């Protein structure tokens, strides 16, 4: 076993003793059987990830002796398995390395090698692919692959030919629409003369038939990567393309890395002739990229193991990169993106496509157009997305509002401008009620409940002048982002009232505590912060739910959950407990609010001719007025 | 959309002086059964734009309100049916002056205006 001498030195005896001890430990604690008979496989005790030895460190020691065919280092274990090309090679390695010291960090580790009959390892839970990601192997045949590759005429590309030849950059060609790298978006108004190459049609038809896509893509980007080329991690611009993105890999395989904002990394092997389908999180939230490398670590392919499965620690080998060409098919998006991932969504305020940075905060608008855009992104888009969850948290009508409604004479015509889920439309059945809201999703809920409602803007209510006996606007006007728009909203309420008609308006109060009474919105132990920060810049800050306000214009988070849950009444904003249990992947929406200071609502209404404030009060964190038309 | 709601609606397209009654172009109409409450209906009548209702209703309603309509049960039932039982599920509402069409989908009229129409 050790050397050819018959007599062993003291040192050699010591090594043998320790080696045997190590073997016993392996058997007893790890269930690994060693054998005195030479085999190709060797277990290296003390050479494991579990005792702080890195793969690089171990490999450098091992390769000093014999060439290693494969090295398997089970995570968290204090040993590793080495396979050699031949039994002879293993013998030589064992002779040379047994008792070898290895310097790892500050520790000096002694390696003990023993033969094993088989390399055993636990079947590990493989790292799941990002949500929405599907890989279909062998999607095209080698013949089809050849046809597709031949269809690309690189020389006729508009791009600078010298830039291509420098090999610093991968080659790119676009069809259908030009993708611009200066703003990571598409020139939707300038379709390219040539559409998608005809050769792509069979592949696309196959995608539709397999149910992988439902709409035919109208944009194609062909990327050609030589060994050593890659593409930095990025999220495909939400506003440029519809959800589903399909990418066909031709030529050599590569490893694409998906990164989640929370730091998780999932490497995915993309074999040649495979099709990658990105939807949901994998499309909107995870970044994807290809590290510029000449070699990738890929599993030693066995016929049964999925090539994409880099998560398990099977025998990994190095795969030399070859030229890979990808065909990425996308459908141009013409409406703004309203996905559930605002942090990476440029339609919803996110900054760059190249990193999932937190939303670039919007500024307070200085003109009507900006205001419309702000409200579209931070009010209307959000309510449409959260409608069902929002509705489930708005189930109890506020008593004071009900009181107002109950005092109205039977047969009164009531308009609820900004009716939301119709919470107040049925409170007094003696009334003729109609609701309107900006959110189609919320209006649908009203109609489902049997109420009459329509979709409209509170700044232009399509009701006849003086057609209503009364109207209510509960938690609506605080969503308008300029004083002019807030005033216009009050004017509309006044216009639709008949003479002597009354309007009830509720808006969120800056002062959440009034007359020593804390509103239900605030958490018990939070101290009051009455300081109003006007801010040195006009950027809107994100509010911390259930705390006092420190600025009047802000974004209030909404943590989306499934509808039908019993949530908090006042605003649906979660308690800390809910926040803890919700995972990283729950989308958060930001709604714009202008919270009113004491007296501000009255002052606003005072600017409207033909109407007077007959009552003004504070109710559960809201400033309220009752107006009467002359 | 019930005809009661339609009676209150008007077009708000910029430049329009009288945007009602909106012309109803229905492609799908449903008739529901709603409990008849004569008092409720008779209270409703004075609030209505009567001529708009006459125009919208396909049945013939008198051009002018009859006297003592409150006690005319047959009349009230007719009004009840028109106002509360007939429902336009699909179609559109057309502005009488500008011709602009507002779609009705799943019973919901969408009265939103574009930037240039507001």
* DSSP characters over A304-358: SS-TT--SS-S-EEEEE---EEEEEEE-B--S----S-GGG-GGGT---TTS-PP
Contact across the interface for B10 and A453, Cβ inside 8 Å: no
**Which residues in chain B have Cβ-Cβ distances shorter than 8 Å to A415?**
8
Residue B81's pLDDT is what?
Answer: 93
Taking CB atoms and an 8 Å limit, are B49 and A430 in contact across chains? no
pLDDT of residue A168: 56
Q: Quick one: angle between helices A142-150 and A201-209, nearest 10?
A: 130
Q: Global pTM?
A: 0.53
Averaged pLDDT, A525-533 = 38
Residues from chain B that touch A376, judged by Cβ atoms under 8 A, are none
**CATH code linked to domain A133-154+162-298+315-344:** 2.60.120.1520
Sign of CA dihedral A224, A227, A228, A233: positive
Q: Span A70-77, mean pLDDT?
A: 78
Task: State the Cα–Cα distance between residues A521 and B118, nearest whole angstrom.
Answer: 36
Confidence band (pLDDT; 50, 70, 90) for A483?
A: very high
Between these two residues, B84 and A6, which has the higher pLDDT value?
Answer: B84
Q: Where are the domains of chain A?
A: 10-115, 133-154+162-298+315-344, 368-511+598-629
Interface of A with B in 382-421 (CB under 8 A): 410-411, 413, 415
Work out the angle between the directed axes of helices A368-375 and A483-496 (0-180°, nearest 10).
80
B59 touches chain A (CB under 8 A): no
**pLDDT average, residue stretch A211-230:** 90
**Higher-confidence position of A454 and A125:** A454
In this structure, are residues A439 and A384 in contact, taking their beta carbons and an 8 Å threshold? yes
B1 contacts on A by Cβ (under 8 Å): 452, 454
Region of residue A579 (phi > 0: left; psi between -120 and 50: alpha; otherwise: beta): alpha
Q: Do A456 and B111 touch (CB under 8 A)?
A: yes
Rounded Cα gap, residues A567 and A263, in angstroms: 30
Across residues A192-219, what is the average pLDDT? Answer: 91
Q: For strand A553-559 and strand A541-542, is the pairing parallel, antiparallel, or unpaired?
A: parallel
Residue A112, helix vs strand vs coil = strand
B66 lies within 8 A of chain A by CB: no
Confidence (pLDDT) at A565: 36
Interchain proximity A434–B49, CB inside 8 Å: no
CA-nearest of A528, A535, A575, A573 to A551 is A535
> How far is C-alpha A445 from the chain's CA centre?
28
Min Cα distance A159 → chain B (Å) is 39
Q: Where do the DSSP E strands lie in B33-114?
A: 86-94, 101-105, 108-109
Contact A443 B118 (CB under 8 A): no
| B5–chain A Cβ distance below 8 A for any pair | yes
B47 shares contact with chain A (CB less than 8 Å): yes
The residue ranking higher by pLDDT, A349 or A472, is A472
B38 touches chain A (CB under 8 A): no
CATH architecture of A10-115: 2-Layer Sandwich (3.30)
Q: Which residue from B43, B44, B106 is facing A444, i.e. has the nearest CB?
A: B106
Average pLDDT, chain B: 91
Contact B2 A452 (CB under 8 A): yes
Q: Is A226 left (phi over 0), alpha (psi -120 to 50) or beta?
A: beta
Task: Give the dihedral sign, CA B20/B23/B24/B25.
Answer: negative
CB atoms within 10 A of CB A592: 23
Phi and psi for A223 in degrees, rounded to 5? -115, 135
- Rounded distance, CA A469 to CA B47, Å? 9
Say whether residue B30 is in contact with chain A using an 8 A CB cutoff.
Answer: no
Which pLDDT band holds residue A523 (cuts at 50, 70, 90)? low
Q: Indicate the DSSP class of residue A254.
A: E
Task: Determine contact, residues A248/A148, Cβ cutoff 8 Å.
Answer: yes
* Cα A455 from Cα A415, distance rounded (Å): 13
d(CA A228, CA A167): 9
Q: Quick check: A244 pLDDT over 70? A: yes
- Residue pair A458/A507 in contact (Cβ under 8 Å)? The answer is no
d(CA B8, CA B14): 19
Under 8 Å CB-to-CB from A516, ≥6 apart: which residues? none
- Pick B10's closest partner by Cβ from A415, A447, A462: A462
Question: Cβ B43–A456 below 8 Å, yes or no?
Answer: no
Residues 6+ apart with CB under 8 A from A360: A349, A350, A351
- Give the range among A130-134, A192-196, A525-529 with minimum mean pLDDT: A525-529
Sheet holding A622-629, edge to edge: A453-455, A432-437, A413-417, A468-474, A497-508, A622-629, A611-619
Answer whether residue B6 shows pLDDT above 50: yes
Identify the residue with better confidence: A536 or A42.
A42
Q: What's the pLDDT score for residue A307?
A: 41
Would the pLDDT of A355 be above 60? Answer: no
Residue A172's nearest CA partner among A231, A216, A232, A243 is: A231
The strand pairing partners of A624, in sequence order, are A506, A617
Q: Which two tokens stand for residue A127?
A: 């790292």
Answer yes or no: do A411 and B8 touch at CB < 8 A.
no
**pLDDT level of residue A28 (50, 70, 90 thresholds):** confident
Residue A290 contacts B, CB cutoff 8 Å: no
Helices A87-97, A55-65: inter-axial angle, 10-degree rounding: 110
Dist CA A500 CA A625 (whole Å): 15
State the Cα–Cα distance between residues A139 and A137, nearest whole angstrom: 5
Read off the pLDDT of each residue in A442-454 and give the average, rounded to a whole number: 94
> Are A463 and B118 inside 8 Å of each other by CB?
no
pLDDT of residue A139: 95
**Radius of gyration of chain A, Cα coordinates, nearest whole angstrom:** 34
User: Which residues does residue A256 pair with via DSSP β-bridges, in sequence order?
Assistant: A268
Please answer yes or no on whether A432 and B110 come within 8 Å at the CB atom.
Answer: no
Cα–Cα distance between A213 and A43 in angstroms, integer? 49
CA-closest candidate to residue A472, choices A402, A383, A541? A402
Pinpoint the alpha helices (H) of A426-572. 440-448, 483-496
Rounded to the nearest angstrom, the gap between the alpha carbon of residue A409 and the centroid of all alpha carbons in its chain is: 51
Binary contact (A469, B112; C-beta < 8 A): no
> Do the Cβ atoms of B1 and A463 come within 8 Å?
no
Chain A nearest-CA residue for B21:
A464
Residues of A in contact with B8 (CB under 8 A): 413, 415, 434, 463-464, 467-468
Residue A29 in this model has a pLDDT that exceeds 80 = no
pLDDT, tens digit (0-9, with 9 covering 90-100), for A83-93: 899 999 999 99
Measured N-to-C along each axis, helices A381-392 and A440-448 cross at an angle, to the nearest 10 degrees, of 30
User: In this predicted model, which residue has the larger pLDDT, A251 or A5?
Assistant: A251
Nearest CA in chain A to B118: A460
Query: What DSSP character marks residue A373?
Result: H
Mean residue pLDDT of chain A comes to 82
Structure confidence by residue, pLDDT tens digits, A134-187: 999 999 999 999 999 999 888 765 543 333 344 457 888 889 888 777 777 888
Report residue A623 as tokens.
């400033």
In this predicted model, what pLDDT tens digit does every residue of A93-127 receive, in sequence order? 999 999 998 886 667 889 999 999 877 544 444 67
Which CATH superfamily groups domain A368-511+598-629? Vaccinia Virus protein VP39 (3.40.50.150)
Nearest to A462 among B12, B44, B47 (CB): B12
Q: Is the pLDDT of residue A321 over 90?
A: no
**ipTM of this predicted complex?**
0.96
On the 0-12 / 13-18 / 19+ scale of CB atoms within 10 A, A543 is buried
Best residue in B8, B52, B107 to probe A by mutation, most A CBs within 10 Å? Answer: B8
Residue A3 has pLDDT above 60, yes or no: no
Q: Pick B111's closest partner by Cβ from A411, A454, A469.
A: A454
* Residues in B touching A460 (Cβ below 8 Å): 12, 113, 118
User: Chain B contact for A462, CB < 8 A?
Assistant: yes
B34 near A CB under 8 A: no
**The predicted structure's pLDDT at residue A318:** 61
The answer to whether the CB atoms of A452 and B4 lie below 8 A apart is yes
Question: Which of the four pLDDT bands, split at 50, 70 and 90, describes residue B114?
Answer: confident
Residue A363 pLDDT > 80: no
pLDDT tens track for B43-79: 999 999 998 998 888 767 888 888 888 888 999 999 9
């Amino acid at each position: 076993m050790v050397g050819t001498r018959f007599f062993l030195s003291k040192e050699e005896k010591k090594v043998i003793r320790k080696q045997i001890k190590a073997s016993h430990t392996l058997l007893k604690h790890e269930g690994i059987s060693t054998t005195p008979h030479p085999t190709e496989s060797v277990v290296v005790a003390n050479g494991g990830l579990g005792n702080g030895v890195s793969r690089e460190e171990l490999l450098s020691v091992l390769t000093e002796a014999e060439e290693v065919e494969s090295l398997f280092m089970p995570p968290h274990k204090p040993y590793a398995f080495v396979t050699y090309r031949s039994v002879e090679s293993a013998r030589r390695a064992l002779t040379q390395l047994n008792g070898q010291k290895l310097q790892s960090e500050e520790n000096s580790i002694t390696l003990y090698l023993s033969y094993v009959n088989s390399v055993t390892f636990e079947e590990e839970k493989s790292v799941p692919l990002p949500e929405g990601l599907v890989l279909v192997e062998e999607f095209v045949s080698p013949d089809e692959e050849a046809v597709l590759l031949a269809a690309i005429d690189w020389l006729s590309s508009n791009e600078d030919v010298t830039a291509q030849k420098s090999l610093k950059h991968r080659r790119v060609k676009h069809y259908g629409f030009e993708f611009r790298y200066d703003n990571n978006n598409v020139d939707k108004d300038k379709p390219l003369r040539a559409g998608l190459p005809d050769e792509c049609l069979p592949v696309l038809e196959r995608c539709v038939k397999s149910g992988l896509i439902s709409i035919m893509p109208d944009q194609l980007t062909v990327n050609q990567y030589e060994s050593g080329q890659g593409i930095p991690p990025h999220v495909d611009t939400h506003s440029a393309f519809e959800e589903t993105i399909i990418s066909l890999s031709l030529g050599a395989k590569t490893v694409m890395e998906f990164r989640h904002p929370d730091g998780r990394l999932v490497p995915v092997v993309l074999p040649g002739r495979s099709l990658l389908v990105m939807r949901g999180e994998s499309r909107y939230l995870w970044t994807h990229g290809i590290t510029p490398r000449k070699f990738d670590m890929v599993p030693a392919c066995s016929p049964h193991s999925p090539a994409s499965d880099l998560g398990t620690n099977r025998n990994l080998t190095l795969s030399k990169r070859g030229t890979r060409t990808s065909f990425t098919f996308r459908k141009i998006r013409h409406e703004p993106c309203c996905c559930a991932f605002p942090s990476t969504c440029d339609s919803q305020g996110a900054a760059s496509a190249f990193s999932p940075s937190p939303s670039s905060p919007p500024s307070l608008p200085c003109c009507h157009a900006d205001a419309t855009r702000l409200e579209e992104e931070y009010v209307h888009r959000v309510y449409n997305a959260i409608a069902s969850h929002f509705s489930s948290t708005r189930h109890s009508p506020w008593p004071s509002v009900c009181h107002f409604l109950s005092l109205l004479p039977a047969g009164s015509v009531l308009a609820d401008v900004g009716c939301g889920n119709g919470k107040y439309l049925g409170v007094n059945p003696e009334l003729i009620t109609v609701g309107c809201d900006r959110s189609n999703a919320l209006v649908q809920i009203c109609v489902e409940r049997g109420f009459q409602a329509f979709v409209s803007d509170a700044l232009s209510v399509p009701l006849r002048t003086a057609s209503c006996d009364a109207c209510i606007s509960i938690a609506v006007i605080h969503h308008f982002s300029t004083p002019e728009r807030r005033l216009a909203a009050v004017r509309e309420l006044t216009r639709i009232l008949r003479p002597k008609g009354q309007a009830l308006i509720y808006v969120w109060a800056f002062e959440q505590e009034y007359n020593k009474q804390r509103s239900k919105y605030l958490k018990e132990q939070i101290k009051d912060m009455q300081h109003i920060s006007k801010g040195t810049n006009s950027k809107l800050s994100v509010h911390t739910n259930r705390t006092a306000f420190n600025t009047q214009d802000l974004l209030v988070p909404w943590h989306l959950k499934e509808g039908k849950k019993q949530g908090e009444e006042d605003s649906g904003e979660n308690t800390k407990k809910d926040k803890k249990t919700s995972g990283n992947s729950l989308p958060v929406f930001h709604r714009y609010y202008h919270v009113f200071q004491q007296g501000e609502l009255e002052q606003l209404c005072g600017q409207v001719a033909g109407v007077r404030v007959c009552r003004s009060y504070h109710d559960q964190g809201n400033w309220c007025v009752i107006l009467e038309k002359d | 959309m019930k005809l009661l709601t339609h009676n209150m609606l008007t077009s708000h397209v910029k430049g329009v002086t009288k945007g009602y009654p909106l012309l109803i172009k229905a492609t799908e109409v449903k008739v529901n059964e709603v409990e008849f409450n004569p008092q409720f209906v008779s209270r409703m009548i004075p609030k209505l734009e009567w001529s708009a209702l006459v125009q919208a209703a396909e049945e013939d309603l008198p051009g002018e309100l009859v006297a003592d309509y409150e006690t005319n049960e047959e009349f009230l039932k007719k009004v009840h049916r028109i106002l509360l039982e007939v429902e336009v599920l699909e179609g559109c509402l057309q502005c009488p002056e500008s011709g602009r069409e507002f779609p009705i989908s799943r019973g919901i009229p969408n009265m939103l205006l574009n930037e240039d129409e507001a």
